[in-house]
Amino acid sequence: MATAPLARIHRGTPRTLARLAGRLRAGELVAVPTETVYGLAANALDARACRKIFRAKGRPLHDPLIVHLPSVAQLSLVAEPSSAALKLARHFWPGPLTLVLPKKAVVPAIVSAGRPSVAVRVPAHPLFRRLLRLAGVPLAAPSANPFGYVSPTTAGHVRDGLGRKIRDILDGGPSGIGLESTIVDLRDARRPRILRPGAITREEVARVLGCAVGAAPVAKPSAGAQLAPGLLARHYSPRTRVKLALRLGTADNPRHAYIYLRRPPGPRRDNVFWLDPRGRLRGAARRLFATLRAVDQQGFAAMHVELAAGDGLAVAINDRLRRAAAR
């Protein structure tokens, strides 16, 4: 049996964007850059096209997809927005915020794992936004990697994981944020809650809404239909076993990797890595998945990773690490 050709990585020229938009309209898959992580896109209104996403990723059908729109004006085409939803949308979109809302019948059941709600956002990445406008259809786009593995933040990461499963990857450079979007459950606008933390914090959402916002639930193993993506107890996981610590000690086991939040003092060692030279959270978030991937390829018996201290973006970083470490 012939091996499938390796996916082609495209620059975002006008001609290429027009061709990729045509493939999306025709029901094909295209890996796309976003400001969060790279996504695997298909026409969100075409159930057959969306099924290809699940097959390519090995993703279970109980894990729903996020629908991406070019602007707030299209929100009512796929969902029933409340005044609270519109307030958040107008404040944070385009940007890394996903809203879970009652869905319109036009959204196929496969997109929402059979639930009557849909997760929606307007992305900020300029290349993806141009592709959305050219395609002329909403695009469902989960992370462009084999299901459960570390999310991709470069076009090369996508080709490493799905290069034989898809044909086209649009290269938009490294993801600027590096973590998936914040997800807010607004099915009941009177009781908003965070489902997945991200770059937009719970405090920022509460400030805009002018009311209390529930914290993200504790991850629990579940085989049932999920309310939104990224809620499974084990996710974003490298093959190498991950061990977490509030503060890492000395990297004294040469068979283990040690990933610090900031660069530790002392000479450089082959088993020592860091997320940001100064321990800045935005830099740590941006490099988190790339660092986990790089360390995973080096054959260590385990990796010890330092948790981030504090609130805000630290909550999102630690959420990804705890899911990566879950067994």
| pLDDT-above-70 percentage for the chain | 98
Distance from C-alpha of 311 to C-alpha of 317, rounded to nearest angstrom: 10
The answer on pLDDT for 216 being more than 90 is no
The answer on pLDDT for 239 being more than 80 is yes
The answer on pLDDT for 220 being more than 90 is no
What's CA 236's distance to the chain center, in Å? 9
Q: How many CB atoms lie within 10 A of CB 280?
A: 14
Q: Taking Cα atoms as reference points, which of 90, 88, 117, 95 lies closest to residue 105?
A: 117
8-209: what fold?
Answer: DHBP synthase (3.90.870)
Locate 297 and state its tokens: 């390829």
Q: How many CB atoms lie within 10 A of CB 52?
A: 17
Distance from C-alpha of 275 to C-alpha of 179, rounded to nearest angstrom: 13
0.95 exceeded by pTM: yes
Task: Tell me the per-residue pLDDT of 282-297, one tens digit each, with 9 for 90 and over.
Answer: 999 999 999 999 999 9
Task: Tell me the per-residue pLDDT of 64-122, one tens digit each, with 9 for 90 and over.
Answer: 999 999 999 999 999 999 999 999 999 999 999 999 999 999 999 999 999 999 999 99
Looking at residue 103, what DSSP letter applies? Answer: B
* Residue in the block written with tokens 């085409």: 77
Distance from C-alpha of 319 to C-alpha of 218, rounded to nearest angstrom: 10
Torsion, Cα 89 49 39 57, to 10 degrees, reads 130
Asked if residue 47 lies in contact with residue 184, where contact means CB atoms within 8 angstroms, the answer is no
Domain boundaries, the chain: 8-209, 241-325
* 1 contact partners, CB below 8 Å, separation of at least 6: none
Task: Tell me the per-residue pLDDT of 244-295, one tens digit each, with 9 for 90 and over.
Answer: 999 998 999 999 999 999 999 988 899 999 999 999 999 999 999 999 999 9
Structure confidence at residue 84 (pLDDT):
97
Mean pLDDT on 38-57: 98
Distance from C-alpha of 41 to C-alpha of 169, rounded to nearest angstrom: 10
Strands of 141-262, DSSP E = 168-170, 182-185, 193-196, 241-245, 256-262
